[in-house]
Structure formats: C-alpha cells, structure tokens
Chain A
C-alpha cells in the first residue's frame, strides 16, 4: 500500500537556525497537506499543495511540492521557540485515500 516517509524523525536546533523536514511518498500523489502538532495537542492544518512544483509561503514557513508529486518539504527560516512541535505531512491519492507520515519532531533551544 501507499507509504509516506518523513525525515528526519527528530531535529534539534538553536533558536534562529533554519529547519527543514522532507516527505517522500512511494506513489504519485494528487495533493499533500501539512499539519503541526504541539506537544500534548492535536494536529492543526497548515496548508495544502496540489500542483507539481508548487511553492507556498506562510511567513517564515515555505512549503514545496516536487515536480513528480512524490515528495514535499517544509522549511522554516530562523526558528523560534513557538515553532516547537511535530510536523506531519499527509499524502492523498487520486482515490482520496490519505496516509500520514510519521512526523518530524522539532525542538528549539532558546
């Protein structure tokens, strides 16, 4: 079945450093979504990417969808302590089936 892999599993950064998490699917996706889950919280929807090669920005966050629609990345510029949490990607197939990656847990040292 469909597999969605995320790397790295954990990332520890100093406040102000950049952070990137990568998401790779075993199959071509119709779209991909990104979520953030704060410690002890629930996943919160951040964004959806649909088009091949699409790039979207939300303040310090930059999301990319690969040309082949099998991979995606989330980049945070100049991390802040408020960025801590686990970032999940969720890949969707044309059949509407979604698979969440295992997430990348980000910790930020002030």
Chain B
C-alpha cells in the first residue's frame, strides 16, 4: 500500500513569515493529494487539494506544489497569521477509496 511521510512534525514561525510542510509518497499511481487543517478538538477541514495533472495550485495565502517525478508535494503558507496555528495533514490517494494520511505537522505562528 501507499506510505506517506510528512515533515516536519512541529514547526514554529513568526507571524508574517512563510511556512512550508512537505510530504513524500511511495506509490507512483497516487493521483490526488488533499491537505487538511485540524484545530484542537475540531474536525479536519480541507484547505486545498491538487490532482496529478497539475504541478501547482494556489488559493490566496495557501499554495500546494507537486513533483510527481520525485513523489513529493508541499504546502506553502505565506504571510502566516496566528489563526493559521493548527495541525496540518497531507494525504495521498489513487483512484480507489482509501486516503493515506501523513503523520501531521503542528504549526505554531508566534505573534
């Protein structure tokens, strides 16, 4: 099955700086990569996703890049704000049902 690794496990940045979280996957057939944000005690919420036919996608301060050759994808948050503090999960899926989630990154934005 697929194996998704996520780094770093914890990340602290100053408000206004950028944050980058990286995930690698093992199955080259994976073709859909969503990112979820989970605040403490709350549900994971989809923040952005990318399909394998696209190399980059951006939504305001959030962007995701995909390198299919290297089998990695990254989440980029620019101009971070305290409300960006949360745990972020990447996931990989190919065609079928199951999402393979990364281990999560706890992001702290320091005011």
Decide if A and B are genuine partners.
no
Chain A residues with a Cβ under 8 A of chain B = none
